[in-house]
Amino acid sequence: MAAEVVAQVAEQAVQTAGAMVAAPADFTSLAVGLAIGLGALGPGIGIGLVGLGAMQSIGRNPEATSKIQTNMILGFAFAEALAIYALVVALILKFV
């Protein structure tokens, strides 16, 4: 996604009538792409690590599945909240 935005910005900058300065809207699109792209990267990695740890723990101690599963779901929710914040920032950048 971010690569597509960067390609669009570069194409629009080249198409300007000899001007070497890109329009502010181009940079806004770049900022939106980077905000959601990088903002979703961390939570994606975090959710994967939480799932990995939970599966390893359940594999080692199957009796504690309910406790581990509760903590795993809480970890998912907190990590996903960061991605939602990134989405809100990207939408604010795009429409405000």
Per the domain annotation, does 1 fall within a domain? no
Predicted local distance difference test score (pLDDT) of residue 96 = 84
Q: Provide the domain count of the chain.
A: 1
The domain spanning residue 90 has which CATH number? 1.20.20.10
Predicted local distance difference test score (pLDDT) of residue 28 = 87
Query: Rounded CA gap, 73 and 65, in Å?
Result: 12
Per the domain annotation, does 27 fall within a domain? no
Q: Is 86 exposed, middle or buried (0-12, 13-18, 19+ CB in 10 A)?
A: buried
**Whole domain around residue 96: which residue ranges?**
41-96
Residues 31-57 have pLDDT tens digits of 899 999 999 999 999 999 999 999 999
